[in-house]
Amino acid sequence: MRQTCLQSIPSDLFAPARGPCGNKTDGPAVTPQCDLHQGDQTMTDMPADIIRQKRVVLYSHDTLGFGHLRRNMLLAGALKRMDPAPDVLMIAGMAEAGAFTLPPGVDVLTLPAYGKRADGSYHARSLGLELKDLARLRSDIIRGALKAYDPDLVIVDNVPRGAQSELDRPLAALRQRGRARIVLGLRDVIDAPETVRAQWLKRRNFAAIRDWFDEIWVYGDPNFFDLIEEYAFGDAFAAKAHFLGYLDQRKRLDGMAATDLPDQPYILCAVGGGRDGAALCRAFAGATLPAGHRGIILTGTQMPAAARAQLEASIAARPDMEIVDFLAEPLPLMQGAARIIAMGGYNTVTEALSLRRPTLIVPRTRPRLEQLLRAERLSAKGAIGMILPDHLTPDRLTAWMAGPPPCAGMGQDMLDMGGLDRMQARARMLLAEPAPLEAVA
């Protein structure tokens, strides 16, 4: 149900953004295309042989789980399937980024990592730095990389100013330089409407969008969740927004190496990065599997060591259960599963719907309501099953696994899954258009 009590964001609140040190970081206004002068030559006079391959940067801040990183990896693969294909540099915020198999022509720059506490606050994950010092370090690295790489297109995932406003100086410098088109990519659901409205105003996200971003890509279907209307984002936001549709994960299976899968039917329990997935894993480990089935628990690398040890002890006497820490590409394992039990992040849900797997979602409810809102709507339409975390028990999981599955294909049929194709079309258009360059004397 739409939050009709919210008023649209007025345009006069799109004030200049300020960086972590309080300085204004707004870039110059975009002007009509004009000749870029270099010495006595204009760009139109330059020889054709200096025209280079297009370059794309995909940024994700990456704090809790692999969702932002995996979404950008999916986009990177789609960009490399374009003809001609651009070079792609991913800027990622967790060390695990280096463990993923990257397509040819894609590389990754890994930033020193943030950690995220249960209340949503940030800290340095590994380094002994104050948060402000880590933010400054990451911002300097990003700015240096963008200056050296000189991209034609930058796609920022989810946070317009980056985590801890670390993109303020890099994006302002990039906009002033004039070559790159800059896009904000958003998932279908962000959080509860009143929370999103308050946070976006406090963080001055609308000013950042006004000053630095050419387009906003929403990886969702407005008939399922109209982000603009639900969050009352207003006309200025809507003018830049494009609903691309959900990202059909099956395209990643093309050319993917075969994975060794169990010979007997199995049920997969997956909890993303694993930081807050221990309760679901424990409940699954205590549940009774259907006759003839195995259970596979994909914990992720971020599960605390004590929780992982407790989980191992709980299945020690169960030959029908096994634990897998990490898979760089879990999609074949999901495709082969008889059923999936998982948390409700964007990637996990779209993977399950794309693959038409019967799925039970136990959504995260803290610190954001994103997963709960998504799961409630899909459950109401009969596309998935859902159990709230407070009601999670081994017996509830046992009953769901023994009962009739939800209509596995319904979610894919009810949602627009054309997001990757439309992303390629938008990227191709932006890469082909002349960048909004400022005249240089």
Q: Give DSSP secondary structure letters for 181-218.
A: EEEEEEES--S-HHHHHHHHHHTTHHHHHHHH-SEEEE
Is pLDDT at 120 greater than 80 in this prediction?
Answer: no
For the chain, give the mean pLDDT.
Answer: 86
Q: How far apart are CA 33 and CA 16, in angstroms?
A: 24
The pTM score is 0.84
Give domain 11-247+419-432's CATH number out of 1.20.200.10, 3.30.450.20, 3.90.209.20, 3.40.50.2000: 3.40.50.2000
Amino acid at 112: P
Contact 226, 298 (CB under 8 A): no
Q: Tokens at residue 335, please?
A: 């495709």
Q: Give DSSP secondary structure letters for 354-402.
A: HHT--EEE----SS-SHHHHHHHHHHHTTSSEE--GGG--HHHHHHHHH
Which position has the token pair 């590409």? 329
Q: Tokens at residue 165, please?
A: 């406003």
Structure confidence at residue 44 as a pLDDT band (50, 70, 90): very low
- What residues does each domain of the chain span? 11-247+419-432, 256-414
Is pLDDT at 12 greater than 80 in this prediction?
Answer: no
pLDDT recorded at residue 287 = 98
Name every residue whose Cβ is closer than 8 Å to that of residue 338 and which is 6 or more positions away in sequence.
265, 266, 267, 290, 293, 358
Mean pLDDT, range 368-390, rounded to an integer: 95
Instruction: Check residue 82 and report its DSSP letter.
Output: S
Instruction: Check residue 13 and report its DSSP letter.
Output: G
pLDDT recorded at residue 30 = 36
pLDDT per residue as tens digits for the range 308-362: 999 999 999 999 999 998 887 889 999 999 999 999 999 999 999 999 999 999 9
Mean pLDDT, range 234-239, rounded to an integer: 97
Structure confidence at residue 50 as a pLDDT band (50, 70, 90): low
The three-point CA angle 256-259-262 to 5° equals 150
Q: Shortest CA distance to 290 belongs to which of 356, 337, 335, 324?
A: 337
pLDDT recorded at residue 439 = 29
- Round the CA-based radius of gyration of the chain to a whole number and report it: 23
Cα 32 to Cα 29, 87, 211, distances in angstroms: 10, 27, 15
pLDDT recorded at residue 101 = 77
**CATH architecture entry for 256-414:** 3-Layer(aba) Sandwich (3.40)
Mean pLDDT, range 248-257, rounded to an integer: 74
- Percentage, residues of the chain above pLDDT 70: 83
Domains 11-247+419-432 and 256-414 share a fold: yes
pLDDT recorded at residue 2 = 38
Highest mean pLDDT among 6-10, 26-30, 33-37, 266-270: 266-270
Is pLDDT at 381 greater than 50 in this prediction?
Answer: yes
